Chains A and B, each alone.
Chain A
C-alpha cells in the first residue's frame, strides 16, 4: 500500500508541481488531458484549489488594476465577499448540480473529481486576464475592441474546457455531454429557485416566531 503523502514530504511537492503544470497541458489538449486528469490521477485537489484561488485573486486585481476605460468601480458599494461569491456561488451550484444529475445517468465522475476538473477548466481565465489587465493600461478607447474580444474569448475558452472536462471524467459521448451540460444549467436554476424558496420560508418562519414571542411578551 502506498502511504498517503502530506505536504511535509518532498514527493508531495513534486506531485503538486507536476499536477499544476499538467493544468497547462489540459488547456492545450483538453480531451487527452482531462481523461488523464482522473483516470491517470495526474490532477491533485491542491492544484485545483490553487487555480481557483488564483482565479479569484485575478478577478479582484482586475477591479483595481484594469484601466478605467474598461472597468469603473463604485468602491463605496463594493462588497468583496459578494464579489467573490459571483465566482464561488455559480461554481458550487455547477459542481453539485452536474454531479447530482450525472451520477444518476452513468456518470463516472465523483463529486471531488467534478470540482477538480471544473477548477482545471478555469485556467484560461487567470492566464488570459492577467496579461490583459496589464495590457488594458496601454490602450485607448479606439482600441477598446481588442480588450473586449480577448476578454470574451478567455471566458468562452474556459467554458469549452469545462464542458470537455465533464465529458471526459464522466466518460460521456459528445452529444450526451452537451445534453447534460444543458441539464446541469437547468439544475442550477432549480437549485436557485429552491434556495430562494427556502430562504423566504425561513424568513417567514422566523418572523412568525418573533411576532409570537412579541405577542406573548405584550400579554405577560
Chain B
C-alpha cells in the first residue's frame, strides 16, 4: 500500500531517474536520542524517555561475597527478584522494599533431597508457580528441578521422551515458564521443535509452538543442483530455536527468538516475538505499521550490525510487552495492538546502556534489565511521560474512553510527534461515537483500518440524515431527462399534428 503512488514508474523509469538525478538519498540514518520510536514512514522520531534509570546494582552494591559471573537469567515473582548467577552455579534471591531498594535475602546454591547431585551446574533460569514451588533450569545437569519453596526436592524433568528427537543430543534446558497448573514449558538448546511441555505429574506431553523453517527460493533451487559436498557445507532448512519465553498474567506464553536474519524479518518469514496459546498457535496482534522485530534500521555502527536479536521479553499487566535486544542493548516496548511504543537503550557502560543484555523482567511497572557481561542489574521506573502513556492504555482497556482520550491529549502535549497519542485519541473518539473527529486523527497518522471503522459509521449516519435528499436527487436524475423527452415528444407531436397542417 505504501508508496503505490510511485510504484507505477517501473523499471525503465527507475533506471532513467537514477541517471537523471543520481541516487536519491533515502531518509538517512541519523543520530537519535536515548528514547525514540519509528513513525509511519519508518523515520526515527525522538521521544521523551518512557523509562528512566533509578538504580543500578553490581555485585558490590548487592554486598555479594562472590562476584556475579556470567549471569544469564532474571525472574521476578511478587516483590522478589531472582538472578541466575550462572557462572557461580547459584541463584540469588533479592527482595524489593518499600523504598524500591533491592537487597539479597538468600543465595540458592543447593537443595535437600533428591537422588544424586543436589547442587546446580550453570543454572540459567528459575520460575515459581502460584503454589510457591520453585522450578530451576539446571542446564549443566540436564534437568529441570521442581523444589518446594524451602528447597526440598519434589521431582525433576529430563530429556523429552520423543521418538522424533535425536537421542544422541544432551538435554540443555535453558529457559522455563510455569503455568497455574504447574505445567512446565521449557526452551532447550539444540531442540528446534518448539517448547518442551511437561505435565504437572512430570510426564513429557509434546512440543508446542515450533517456529517454521525458513528458506528462500534461490536456496531451494540451489539445493536441487548442489553436490553432496556442497550440501554438507550449506545450512539445512531447519526451524529456528526460541531464545526465551515469558508466561503472562493470563497464561499466554510470549516467546522470542534471536536466531533471525534481516531478510527473513523484512519479508515476514520469521516472527521475532510470538504469543502462543495453549495449543501453540501464534495469536500476537500485529496492527502496527511495521512488524515487531525491533530496530528497522540495521546499519553497522559501534561494532554492531544486523537486526535486533531478542534475548528476553516481559509482559506488563496491560498487555504491553518489552523485548530486549542483546545486539544493540535496547529495549523495545509494544502495546497490545503490536504498535511500537518506545525503544530505548544502547551499547555502552553508562547507566541505562548495556554490553550484553540478557534478561528483562518487571515488578509492577518497574523494569529490571540484567547485563550478562558486566553482571549488572539496572532498575528503571516510568517517567511522567511513561506514566501517562500507560494510564491512557489502561483507561482504554477498562472502557473509560473519554478519560483515555484526555490522557492521550496530555501525552500529546509532552510529545507532539507521538503517533500513538493521535491514534489513541482517535480510538477514544471512535468509542464515543464522535466519528467525524476520530477520522481526522486517524488520517493524520495514516491509520487506515481505524479510519475505515470511523468512516463507515460516519457514512452510515450521513446517509441516514440525508436520505430524503439522496432520494430526491436520484429521482431527479431519472425524471428530469424523462420529462424533457416527454415534453419534446409532445411539442413534436403538436408541430406535426394533422389539424395544424390543414391551413397550409
Q: Which residues of A contact B (CB under 8 A)?
A: 62-63, 68-74, 77, 79, 82-83, 85-86, 89-90, 93, 138, 140-142, 188-189, 192, 195-196, 199-200
The reply to whether A86 and B13 form a contact with Cβ atoms under 8 Å apart is: yes
A72's contact among B1, B10, B21, B452, by CB below 8 Å, is which? B1
Chain A CB within 8 A of B484 CB? no
Tell me the chain B residues, 12-38 only, with Cβ under 8 Å from chain A. 12-13, 15-17, 19-21, 24, 26-27
Task: Decide yes or no: A71 and B20 within 8 Å by CB, A86-B13, A141-B449 being known contacts.
Answer: no
Residues on the B chain within 8 Å of A90, using CB: 10, 12-13
* A74–B41 alpha-carbon span in the complex (Å): 8
The reply to whether A142 and B452 form a contact with Cβ atoms under 8 Å apart is: yes
The residue of chain A having its C-beta at the shortest distance from the C-beta of B447 within the complex is: A68
The reply to whether B459 and A68 form a contact with Cβ atoms under 8 Å apart is: no
Residues on the A chain within 8 Å of B12, using CB: 89-90, 93, 188-189, 192
Residues on the A chain within 8 Å of B4, using CB: 70-71
Given contacts A69-B1, A69-B448, 13 further A-B contacts (CB under 8 A): A63-B5, A68-B446, A68-B448, A70-B4, A86-B6, A86-B8, A90-B10, A90-B12, A140-B459, A141-B448, A189-B12, A196-B19, A200-B19
The reply to whether B459 and A138 form a contact with Cβ atoms under 8 Å apart is: yes
The residue of chain A having its C-beta at the shortest distance from the C-beta of B455 within the complex is: A140
A199's contact among B10, B19, B26, B448, by CB below 8 Å, is which? B19
B446 to chain A, nearest CB (A): 6
A71's contact among B5, B449, B455, by CB below 8 Å, is which? B5
Residues on the A chain within 8 Å of B453, using CB: 140
The reply to whether B16 and A195 form a contact with Cβ atoms under 8 Å apart is: yes
Residues on the A chain within 8 Å of B20, using CB: 82, 85
* A82–B22 alpha-carbon span in the complex (Å): 12
Task: Tell me if A's interface is mostly helix, strand, loop or mixed.
Answer: helix
The reply to whether B19 and A69 form a contact with Cβ atoms under 8 Å apart is: no
The residue of chain A having its C-beta at the shortest distance from the C-beta of B462 within the complex is: A138
The reply to whether A70 and B452 form a contact with Cβ atoms under 8 Å apart is: no
15 CB-based A-B contacts, threshold 8 Å: A62-B5, A68-B443, A69-B451, A70-B4, A77-B27, A83-B6, A86-B6, A86-B9, A89-B16, A138-B459, A192-B12, A192-B16, A196-B16, A196-B19, A199-B19
B19 to chain A, nearest CB (A): 5
Q: Which residues of B contact A (CB under 8 A)?
A: 1-6, 8-10, 12-13, 15-17, 19-21, 24, 26-27, 40-41, 443, 446, 448-449, 451-453, 455-456, 459
* A142–B459 alpha-carbon span in the complex (Å): 14
The residue of chain A having its C-beta at the shortest distance from the C-beta of B450 within the complex is: A141
Residues on the B chain within 8 Å of A196, using CB: 15-16, 19
The residue of chain A having its C-beta at the shortest distance from the C-beta of B21 within the complex is: A82
Task: Decide yes or no: A82 and B17 within 8 Å by CB, A62-B5, A63-B5, A71-B4 being known contacts.
Answer: yes
* A4–B456 alpha-carbon span in the complex (Å): 57
A140's contact among B13, B17, B452, by CB below 8 Å, is which? B452
B28 to chain A, nearest CB (A): 11
* A72–B2 alpha-carbon span in the complex (Å): 6
The residue of chain A having its C-beta at the shortest distance from the C-beta of B445 within the complex is: A68
The residue of chain B having its C-beta at the shortest distance from the C-beta of A193 within the complex is: B15
B378 to chain A, nearest CB (A): 37
B113 to chain A, nearest CB (A): 61
The reply to whether B15 and A140 form a contact with Cβ atoms under 8 Å apart is: no
The residue of chain B having its C-beta at the shortest distance from the C-beta of A62 within the complex is: B5
The reply to whether B8 and A69 form a contact with Cβ atoms under 8 Å apart is: no
A156 to chain B, nearest CB (A): 13
The residue of chain A having its C-beta at the shortest distance from the C-beta of B451 within the complex is: A69
Residues on the A chain within 8 Å of B452, using CB: 69, 140-142
* A138–B462 alpha-carbon span in the complex (Å): 11
Residues on the B chain within 8 Å of A79, using CB: 21
* A74–B19 alpha-carbon span in the complex (Å): 22
* A141–B449 alpha-carbon span in the complex (Å): 7
Residues on the A chain within 8 Å of B451, using CB: 68-69, 141
A-B interface, 3 closest residue pairs, ranked by CB to CB distance from nearest: A140-B452, A141-B452, A86-B9
A159 to chain B, nearest CB (A): 12
* A79–B452 alpha-carbon span in the complex (Å): 30
Residues on the B chain within 8 Å of A69, using CB: 1, 448, 451-452
* A128–B451 alpha-carbon span in the complex (Å): 25
Residues on the B chain within 8 Å of A86, using CB: 6, 8-9, 13
A102 to chain B, nearest CB (A): 19
Greatest chain B CB density within 10 A among A74, A188, A199 is at A74
A181 to chain B, nearest CB (A): 15
The residue of chain B having its C-beta at the shortest distance from the C-beta of A66 within the complex is: B5
